[in-house]
């Protein structure tokens, strides 16, 4: 029996929170979306999406089902459950920046009521839900977690651009108490087919870190092999394709110009930071981070080689970077290595432009304010070198051969290649 106007309130309407809103709305739940950005809430209430791969039709469908968006945190009092989906970036010193989580917990606390469920979905280090979120909620509400309200952690597994329906992705759930876990599992059972209960919030937090550390370390391995094999005249992509035919004991990972997105470049360092509490080193994680972080400079070196073969220097050259998004066929440019390549080239005196069919103009972001407002440029022969950074589908069949411009390909993506073709 419904006991509140909203079944669930979701705080943070970005690449994680908004798909979650839509999934709950499709399940028949009454959904309230909460975000500090008034432009976002107004756009959603007008039936417009600001995330390209979701689309206006999905927003309009959710609105017809009763979905509402607001900047008013007091309305969460009217929800049976509150899900926190806010960013967890790193500071410049690679320490966890939990300010978004902490501020959200403080904003929720005065409106928390007995019987509500609060779930943190933001990726973080083991212990955050109990050590950070729980005290803030209790201090601001006067209620006790596990007694007066339910508290749980369930890591997001959103993959922007992936056609896999959220309902098909198993959902890990850990609670402060078994009752908290069961309450969260019952909620998520409305939108996912398989629930994966674990013993605690910390175990659920650690699960998310393991998933992303696994990817970061393996990507670092193939990035290192890319450099070694290139020196030997061996094509790393050919090697990976051949190795991937083994039906057991191998999983293909692919090199690139560096790591991007809201998870892989960031999450491993949450564990590195937490491990210091126990005087334990995380040597493999840190080494993988060093390798992946160095990839943009490796690409810049290959660009310099391509220009040198044309008797040109980086300084004064016109360079077009293809793909600002961190992964193919989406408009998500968070932590994109293309920004690092752009910045490095500009420091060396190059005139740098970009093309991205999914990012027509650069939006303000935490790490690239100085280039906000720049617009995507057409792919023409008016450049000294073109660099394929992101393997958007639009680039696979593009006729680079007809341009006569050297191409540096970081993804082994171009099929119609010019005579002067370089892998990076």
In this prediction the pTM is 0.92
Q: Are 26 and 97 in contact (CB under 8 A)?
A: no
User: Could you tell me the residue range of the domain that residue 36 belongs to?
Assistant: 6-199
How many angstroms separate the Cα of 92 from the Cα of each of 177, 296, 341, 349, 383?
35, 18, 18, 25, 34
Domain end call among 171, 199, 227: 199
- CA torsion sign for 268, 274, 280, 286 is positive
Domain end call among 131, 166, 199: 199
| pLDDT recorded at residue 1 | 39
pLDDT digits (tens, 9 = 90+) for 193-239: 999 999 999 999 999 999 999 999 999 999 999 999 999 999 999 99
Question: Pick the catalytic residue: 21, 201, 263, 410?
Answer: 263
48 plus 137 within the same structural domain: yes
- The CATH number given to whatever domain includes residue 324 is 3.40.50.720
- Residue 4 pLDDT > 70, yes or no? no
- Residue 79 pLDDT > 80, yes or no? yes
Overall number of domains in the chain: 2
- Residue 177 pLDDT > 80, yes or no? yes
Domain end call among 199, 229, 253: 199
- Residue 154 pLDDT > 50, yes or no? yes
| pLDDT recorded at residue 53 | 81
The pLDDT > 70 percentage for the chain reads 98
263 is a catalytic site residue: yes
């Amino acid at each position: 029996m419904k006991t509140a106007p909203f079944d669930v309130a979701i705080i943070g309407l970005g690449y994680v929170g908004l798909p979650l809103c839509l999934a709950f709305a499709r399940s028949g739940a009454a959904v309230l979306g909460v975000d500090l950005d008034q432009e976002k809430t107004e756009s959603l209430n007008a039936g417009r999406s600001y995330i390209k791969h979701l689309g206006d039709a999905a927003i309009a469908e959710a609105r017809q089902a009763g979905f509402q968006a607001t900047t008013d945190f007091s309305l969460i009092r009217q929800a049976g459950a509150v899900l926190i989906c806010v960013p967890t970036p790193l500071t410049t010193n690679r320490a966890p920046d939990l300010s978004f989580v902490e501020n959200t917990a403080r904003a929720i606390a005065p409106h928390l009521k007995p019987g509500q469920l609060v779930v943190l979905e933001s990726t973080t280090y083991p212990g955050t839900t109990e050590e950070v979120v729980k005290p803030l909620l209790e201090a601001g509400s006067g209620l006790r977690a596990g007694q007066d309200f339910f508290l749980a952690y369930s890591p997001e597994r959103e993959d922007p651009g992936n056609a896999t329906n959220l309902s098909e992705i198993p959902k890990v759930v850990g609670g402060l108490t078994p009752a908290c876990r069961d309450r969260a599992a019952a909620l998520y059972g409305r939108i996912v087919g398989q629930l994966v209960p674990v013993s605690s919030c910390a175990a659920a937090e650690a699960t998310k870190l393991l998933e992303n550390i696994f990817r970061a370390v393996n990507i670092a391995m193939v990035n290192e092999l890319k450099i070694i094999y290139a020196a030997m005249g061996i094509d790393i992509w050919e090697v990976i394709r051949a190795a991937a035919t083994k039906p057991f004991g191998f999983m293909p990972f692919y090199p690139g110009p560096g790591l991007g997105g809201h998870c892989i470049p960031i999450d491993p360092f949450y564990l590195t930071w937490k491990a210091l509490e126990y005087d334990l080193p995380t040597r493999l994680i840190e080494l993988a981070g060093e390798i992946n972080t160095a990839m943009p400079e490796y690409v810049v070196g290959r660009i310099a080689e391509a220009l040198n073969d044309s008797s040109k220097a980086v300084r004064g050259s016109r360079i077009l970077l293809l793909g600002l998004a961190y992964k193919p066929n989406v408009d998500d440019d968070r932590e994109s290595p293309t920004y690092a390549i752009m910045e490095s080239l500009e420091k060396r005196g190059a005139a740098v432009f970009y093309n991205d069919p999914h990012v027509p103009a650069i939006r303000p972001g935490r790490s690239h304010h100085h280039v906000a407002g720049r617009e995507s440029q057409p792919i023409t022969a008016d450049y000294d070198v073109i660099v394929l950074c992101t393997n958007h589908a639009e680039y696979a069949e593009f006729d680079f051969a007809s341009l006569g411009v050297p191409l540096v390909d970081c993804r082994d993506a171009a099929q119609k290649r010019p005579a002067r073709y370089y892998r990076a």
